[in-house]
């Protein structure tokens, strides 16, 4: 067996940035990089101008727990719970933007690689941590998805506390949206009038479909994932996107890898995106190639002129990872032995069609 020099050891630990354009996208060469956690990285802007990325908090916590020996599902749920509890983050949990009637409806899914089990909740009201309820669905029932009033009763039966999830800041955004509505509004496009944008300049309007997906692989190679969201801002009550649908907003196969999504959920449902990404990796694609292929399927649905942003995130069993989006400008969070950071996602198109 060849002697492992210090130089070889250092080189074997190096990682390459996966961000690149479609025409030049190639899988980075990377030796096993475990433990590892990745997540979407919505930018949160506070009224005082302070900016932070929600995904960094999630991945840092998940990585810390895995280094201490935690199960990967424990780790990712603990990570996103920080985000669900944050009233300043209007994309997830407490403080999430409401539906068109001013009520916050939350969706979440979890999947555990070692057992292959999963659970989810959708249109859940009054409970700020849907990811934890989704796990209980997985562990305490033989069901996978609970919705609406049934999901709420289930959560309350396990001791979750009912509370108003609409913060004053989110309520003011919703009220302004109502004032600006007109017969020209179109639910599918979720148009946001210019007056609303100018009245609330500190909001990051690019993330009105905000969600957090967090994926992890342990040092031993076990995988898990979670996706949690308050869904599309000002949606029709009862609307459910891809986040709580296993195979769409989240999929994990412990022999292969894990994938998740954020962005316009309806488009992702049409290609069963997370499952497609994992199956691509099963056939030998790198995480980056797998994500880009799934995105191309969405673009094809629109004849090459997609209307909405969709983002995929993926890791494989070796600790290779990627983030990719339809349009330029997306980012994702990573925490591994090199620390926590935000990286640019690969992309297919420079900008949406005019």
CATH code of residue 174: 3.60.20.30
- How high is the pLDDT of residue 196? 42
Structural domain tally of the chain? Answer: 1
Q: Is residue 92 part of a domain?
A: yes
Q: Is residue 19 part of a domain?
A: no
- How high is the pLDDT of residue 219? 96
* CA gap 177, 166 in Å, rounded: 15
Helix, strand, or coil (residue 81) = helix
Print burial letters for 8-28: b (CB count within 10 Å at least 16), e (below 16).
eeeeeeebeebbbeeeebebb
* CA gap 95, 128 in Å, rounded: 9
pTM (two decimals):
0.86
Q: Is residue 15 part of a domain?
A: no
- How high is the pLDDT of residue 247? 98
Print burial letters for 188-210: b (CB count within 10 Å at least 16), e (below 16).
eebebbeebeeebeebeeebbbb
By residue count, the chain amounts to 354
- How high is the pLDDT of residue 121? 98
Question: pLDDT of the chain along its 354 residues, tens only?
Answer: 444 343 333 333 333 333 333 333 333 334 478 999 999 998 888 888 889 999 999 999 999 999 999 999 999 999 999 999 999 999 899 999 999 999 999 999 999 999 999 999 999 999 999 999 999 999 999 999 999 999 999 999 999 999 999 999 999 999 998 888 755 454 544 444 443 444 344 444 444 556 999 999 999 999 999 999 999 999 999 999 999 999 999 999 999 999 999 999 999 999 999 999 999 999 999 999 999 999 999 999 999 999 899 999 999 999 999 999 999 999 999 999 999 999 999 999 998 776
Q: Is residue 238 part of a domain?
A: yes
- How high is the pLDDT of residue 183? 54
Q: Which residue has the tokens 């709580």?
A: 244
Q: Is residue 297 part of a domain?
A: yes
Least Cα distance to 251 among 219, 284, 270, 227 occurs for 227
- How high is the pLDDT of residue 209? 52
Contact 75, 224 (CB under 8 A): yes
Q: Is residue 3 part of a domain?
A: no
Name the residues annotated as catalytic: 211
Q: Is residue 18 part of a domain?
A: no
- How high is the pLDDT of residue 15? 31
Q: Is residue 7 part of a domain?
A: no
Enclosing domain of residue 293: 37-348
- How high is the pLDDT of residue 351? 84
């Amino acid at each position: 067996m060849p002697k492992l020099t210090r130089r070889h050891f250092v080189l074997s630990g190096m990682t390459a940035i996966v961000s690149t354009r479609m025409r030049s996208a190639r899988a980075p060469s990377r030796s096993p990089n475990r433990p590892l956690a990745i997540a979407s990285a919505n930018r949160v802007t506070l009224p005082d101008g302070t900016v932070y990325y929600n995904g960094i908090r999630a991945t840092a916590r998940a990585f810390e727990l895995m280094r201490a020996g935690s199960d990967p599902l424990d780790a990712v749920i603990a990570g996103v719970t920080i985000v669900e509890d944050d009233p300043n983050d209007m994309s997830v949990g407490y403080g999430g933007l409401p539906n068109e009637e001013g009520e916050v409806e939350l969706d979440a899914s979890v999947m555990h690689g070692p057992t292959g089990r999963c659970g989810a909740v959708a249109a859940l009201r009054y409970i700020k941590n849907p990811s934890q309820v989704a796990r209980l669905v997985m562990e305490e029932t033989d069901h996978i998805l609970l919705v609406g009033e049934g999901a709420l009763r289930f959560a309350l039966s396990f001791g979750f506390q009912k509370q108003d999830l609409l913060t004053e800041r989110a309520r003011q955004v919703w009220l302004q949206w109502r004032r600006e509505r007109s017969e020209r509004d179109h639910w599918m496009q979720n148009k946001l009038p210019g007056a609303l944008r100018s009245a609330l300049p500190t909001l990051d309007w690019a993330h009105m479909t905000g969600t957090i997906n967090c994926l992890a692989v342990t040092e031993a190679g076990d995988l898990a994932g979670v996706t949690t969201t308050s869904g599309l801002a000002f949606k029709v009550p009862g609307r459910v996107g891809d986040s709580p649908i296993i195979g769409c907003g989240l999929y994990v196969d412990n022999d292969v890898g894990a994938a998740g999504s954020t962005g316009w959920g309806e488009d992702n449902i049409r290609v069963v995106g997370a499952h497609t990404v994992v199956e691509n990796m099963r056939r030998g694609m790198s995480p980056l190639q797998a994500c880009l292929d799934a995105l191309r399927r969405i673009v094809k649905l629109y004849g090459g002129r997609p209307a909405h942003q969709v983002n995929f995130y993926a890791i494989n069993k070796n600790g290779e990872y990627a983030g990719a989006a339809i349009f330029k400008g997306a980012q994702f969070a990573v925490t591994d032995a090199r620390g926590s950071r935000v990286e640019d996602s690969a992309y297919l198109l420079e900008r949406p069609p005019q």
